[in-house]
Amino acid sequence: MSFPFSLSEIILITLVMFMGSALQGSVGYGSALVATPLLVLIDYRLVPVPFSIASLSLVILMMWRERQAIDFRGLGWSVFGRVFGSALGAFILAQFTSSSFVLIFAIMVLLAVLISISGVRFMPTKGSLLGAGFFSGLMGTVAAIGGPPMALVYQEAQGKRIRSTLAAYFILSILISSLAWASIGMYHGEILILGLFLLPGTIMGFLISTRIVHWIDGKYIRPVVLSVAAISGIYVLVQHFINQF
């Protein structure tokens, strides 16, 4: 295998992963929203497996940093819901076009953000966690954006609880997806090497996030969580309409 990237591409990859990892390390999610569209433009092979390798290292670091704050009860219910949501998402992809479903999900995310802004609060109850896990699995499988439903449920929690619980949730999610990818031969030497090029920016982004979290926590965490969710929904809508032309 020849050297896969030029120096300029390596710099771009590092910068993209730095920005995405700094966001997720500070807020709890959002790396895929920032990084994957740009990585595909650099080299389509960087998504999904190499990006997931780098993301796994990021969420492990995040979980370990704030491990005392993990909501294990909520984690269990949300992962249980995700299993069923992912199964339905896989069925949808196998039977139908995902375009209309992606549009519906984007509108649902934006509606949830508007409801939150209006004063309604989403709390991490058993039912809401099951629902959030279900829709996260469904959206993650069909639209590759599964963070917003979980983040909206935890929007009233402390920043460290949001970050640590979502990190643990994403670890399990990535491992589940990795088993699926491995079963169809998507893990091989070349892909693993490509993943290594994403690690420097990921680690640097995580390190800078440790300086940012203290500023974001408190009165800023909820607005930032809602803002990233809204941007996620808008991004999916834009992608949907672009793909129509």
Q: Which has more pLDDT, 205 or 177? A: 205
Pairwise CA distance, residues 213 & 25, whole Å: 8
Pairwise CA distance, residues 195 & 116, whole Å: 37
Give tens-digit pLDDT for 93-126: 677 665 666 677 778 788 888 878 877 778 899 9
Question: Looking at residues 14-41, what average pLDDT do you find?
Answer: 93
Q: Please say if the pLDDT value at position 1 is more than 70.
A: no
> Could you tell me how far CA 237 lies from the centroid of its own chain?
17
Task: Sort 237 into a burial class: Cβ within 10 Å, 0-12 / 13-18 / 19+.
Answer: middle
Domain assignments of the chain as residue spans, ordered by start? 7-243
What's residue 209's pLDDT?
A: 97
Tokens of 87: 């199964």
What's residue 127's pLDDT?
A: 95
Q: Which has more pLDDT, 170 or 33? A: 170
What's residue 98's pLDDT?
A: 58
Question: Looking at residues 234-245, what average pLDDT do you find?
Answer: 80
Give tens-digit pLDDT for 33-77: 899 889 988 998 998 889 989 999 999 999 999 999 999 999 999
Question: Looking at residues 75-81, what average pLDDT do you find?
Answer: 95
What's residue 188's pLDDT?
A: 83
